[in-house]
């Protein structure tokens, strides 16, 4: 447990005001975006890679456990301290000094503490963006540590795909600064070590600087809400739209009727685009987009969408029951309201799963059949990224459902869902939220002995010190 001497020493390293110890000051750093309430021994707010190194070196040498914290928007207890009061938080929120844009290279060298929204605001004049599209507004270091995906993965991929280089401080006695930054896109001169720090929840090192791939901003967009004829037709519809739309398709998101209704209930200002206001059982949000300004002679994207939907109807497959070519702003407002809507509907147990794309709806159908038999009284309010196999699988009980407060009930339910997803469907128990404390038990259970042994070996040679919420 860090004592007053430790605090004084840490203050000596990076300045008095950069080490917080007052409960009121620490509260925001101890509280997670949705679930967590921990207790920190201190919060360190270094403003440079060198200061991060000094803090890490000191803490490793003195056996002090550090939890790196970025935007603190995660949902898996990855960035908050546990309740012991023995862990220090290492916040990246003052690590914002570097911003070096190379427009010819479409790349950006940037401190890990910048928020995604600010990053993109500062890139607007150059017509570029970091193309990871999320509901939340995380800082970059955490996006790398969790390898976030988001709603336009189908076109742009995840953070891993868009990371050209990293600077990392290792949790060893020296606080080694590992410079893996590079603006190069093609470079095969050894092990791509930066990969070790992507998606590993900060346990292998503290990310202090990133070199990112940027993409041109989308300048034309059209969206449609599609009602498939059956759950089975969803994956055929995706394949058909990829074939007919090719490179234009930039999102293919699924939304359950339950989730949509929850969003309408929670945000009354949302417009209901469905005929007679009746929300279908399941709706697909399809987006097509282009990064060029409209060109002489070019067909508009609304026309393209209408042509392609007409073809879908003319086809023999009967994949669509209904479709609404929507206003992009309204359609995405609905999509982004689902998460909060579901959360306010009742007591929520949320899963971040992924499957082979063709298995997503098979899993949902299986759950619809078997969940009521095993855990009656839970509403399935799923939505997610069919285009890449991801699904935010949410179960909601009534606000006064007492079972949800019982740890055994929640654990049993979680274990049952995850076991079917992982063992029977070959799915993932964490598609884009990484591990954190929340998924640790699933990591321990579903990771093979060989892989766990290798991961522990990697941890030992990179950051042997106590760093990060995930235990490898």
Write phi, then psi, for 334 (nearest 5 degrees): -65, -50
List 89, 119, 143, 248, residue binding a second copy (CB under 8 A):
248
Q: Is residue 366 a contact point for a second copy (CB under 8 A)?
A: no
Q: Is residue 100 a contact point for a second copy (CB under 8 A)?
A: no
- Cα 49 to chain centroid, rounded: 25
CB of 58 to a second copy, least distance (A): 20
Cα–Cα distance measured from residue 469 to residue 30, given in angstroms and rounded to the nearest whole number: 13
Q: Which residues pair with 120 in a beta bridge?
A: none
List 37, 97, 117, 185, residue binding a second copy (CB under 8 A):
185
List 17, 188, 269, 278, residue binding a second copy (CB under 8 A):
188
Q: Residues 14 to 53: which contact a second copy by CB under 8 A? A: none
Contacts of 271 (CB under 8 A, 6+ apart): 330
CB of 369 to a second copy, least distance (A): 21
- The DSSP symbol for 230 reads S
Toward a second copy, which CB reaches closer, 345 or 392?
Answer: 392
Q: Is residue 251 a contact point for a second copy (CB under 8 A)?
A: no
CB of 138 to a second copy, least distance (A): 14
User: Is residue 383 classed as helix, strand or coil in its secondary structure?
Assistant: strand
From 27-35, 171-179, 332-340, 368-376, give the range in contact with a second copy by CB under 8 A.
Answer: 171-179
Toward a second copy, which CB reaches closer, 111 or 220?
Answer: 220
CB of 303 to a second copy, least distance (A): 6
List 82, 183, 302, 419, residue binding a second copy (CB under 8 A):
183
Q: Which residues pair with 215 in a beta bridge?
A: 129
CB of 147 to a second copy, least distance (A): 5
List 46, 81, 175, 199, residue binding a second copy (CB under 8 A):
199
Toward a second copy, which CB reaches closer, 68 or 389?
Answer: 389
List 61, 84, 275, 307, residue binding a second copy (CB under 8 A):
307
List 271, 321, 329, 356, residue binding a second copy (CB under 8 A):
356
Cα–Cα distance measured from residue 265 to residue 290, given in angstroms and rounded to the nearest whole number: 33
Beta strands per DSSP E along 119-205: 128-129, 163-169, 177-180
**Structure tokens, 208:** 């202090």
CB of 217 to a second copy, least distance (A): 10
Closest CA to 439 of 456, 423, 420, 418: 418
Alpha helices (H) along 284-359: 301-314, 328-345
- Chain length of the chain: 472
Toward a second copy, which CB reaches closer, 253 or 379?
Answer: 253
- The DSSP symbol for 218 reads P
CB of 161 to a second copy, least distance (A): 6
CB of 189 to a second copy, least distance (A): 5
Cα–Cα distance measured from residue 208 to residue 96, given in angstroms and rounded to the nearest whole number: 9
Q: Residues 374 to 433: which contact a second copy by CB under 8 A? A: 385, 388-390, 426-433
**Structure tokens, 334:** 């609905």
List 22, 125, 186, 316, residue binding a second copy (CB under 8 A):
186
List 34, 94, 161, 366, residue binding a second copy (CB under 8 A):
161
Tokens 């685009």 belong to which residue?
273
**Structure tokens, 135:** 């509901």
Closest CA to 137 of 206, 70, 69: 70
How many residues belong to the site for a second copy (CB under 8 A)? Answer: 98
Q: Residues 227 to 246: which contact a second copy by CB under 8 A? A: 235-236, 238-239, 242-246
Q: Is residue 156 a contact point for a second copy (CB under 8 A)?
A: no
**Structure tokens, 229:** 């004829």
Binding pattern for the stretch 266-305 against a second copy, x by CB under 8 A and - elsewhere? ------------------------xxxx-xxxxx---xx-
Tokens 């009930």 belong to which residue?
409
Tokens 């026309």 belong to which residue?
303
Contacts of 399 (CB under 8 A, 6+ apart): 346, 347
Cα–Cα distance measured from residue 210 to residue 131, given in angstroms and rounded to the nearest whole number: 15
State the angle between helix axes of 257-266 and 328-345 in degrees (0 to 180), rounded to the nearest 10.
90
């Amino acid at each position: 447990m860090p004592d007053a001497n430790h605090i004084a020493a840490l203050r000596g390293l990076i300045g008095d005001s950069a080490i917080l110890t007052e409960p009121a000051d620490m509260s925001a750093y101890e509280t997670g975006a949705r679930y967590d309430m921990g207790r920190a021994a201190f919060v360190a707010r270094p403003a440079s890679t060198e200061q991060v190194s000094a803090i890490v070196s000191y803490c490793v040498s003195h056996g002090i456990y550090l939890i790196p914290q970025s935007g603190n928007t995660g949902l898996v207890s990855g960035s908050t301290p546990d309740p012991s009061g023995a862990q220090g938080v290492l916040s990246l929120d003052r690590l914002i000094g570097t911003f070096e844009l190379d427009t010819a290279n479409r790349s950006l060298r940037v401190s890990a503490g910048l928020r995604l929204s600010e990053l993109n605001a500062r890139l607007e004049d150059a017509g570029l963006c970091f193309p990871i599209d999320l509901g939340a507004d995380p800082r970059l270091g955490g996006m790398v540590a969790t390898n976030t995906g988001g709603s336009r993965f189908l076109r742009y991929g995840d953070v891993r795909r868009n990371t050209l280089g990293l600077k990392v401080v290792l949790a060893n006695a020296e606080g080694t600064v590992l410079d893996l930054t590079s603006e190069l896109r093609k470079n095969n001169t050894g092990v791509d070590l930066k990969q070790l720090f992507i998606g590993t929840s900060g346990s292998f090192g503290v990310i202090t600087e990133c070199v990112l791939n940027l993409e041109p901003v989308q300048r034309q967009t059209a969206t449609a809400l599609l009602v498939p004829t059956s759950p089975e037709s969803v994956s055929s519809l995706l394949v058909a739209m990829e074939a007919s739309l090719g490179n234009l398709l930039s999102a293919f998101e699924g939304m359950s009727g339950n989730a949509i209704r929850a969003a309408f209930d929670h945000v009354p200002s949302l417009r209901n685009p469905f005929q007679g206001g009746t929300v279908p059982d399941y709706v697909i949000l399809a987006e097509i987009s282009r990064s060029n300004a409209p060109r002489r002679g070019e067909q508009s994207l609304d026309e393209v969408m209408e042509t392609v939907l007409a073809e879908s109807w003319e086809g023999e497959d009967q994949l669509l029951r209904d479709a609404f070519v929507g206003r992009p702003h309204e359609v995405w407002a609905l999509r982004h309201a689902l998460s909060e809507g579901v959360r306010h509907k009742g007591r929520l147990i949320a899963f971040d799963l992924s499957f082979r794309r063709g298995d997503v709806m098979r899993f949902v159908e299986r759950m619809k059949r078997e969940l009521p038999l095993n855990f009656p009284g839970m509403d399935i309010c799923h939505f997610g990224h069919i285009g890449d196999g991801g699904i935010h699988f949410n179960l909601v009980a009534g606000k006064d459902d007492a079972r949800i407060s019982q740890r055994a009930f929640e654990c049993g339910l979680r274990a049952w869902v995850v076991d079917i997803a992982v063992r029977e469907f070959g799915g993932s128990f964490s598609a884009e939220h990484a591990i954190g404390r929340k998924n640790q038990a699933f990591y321990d259970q579903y990771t093979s002995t060989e892989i766990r042994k290798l991961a522990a070996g990697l941890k030992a040679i990179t950051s042997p010190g106590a760093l990060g919420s995930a235990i490898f």
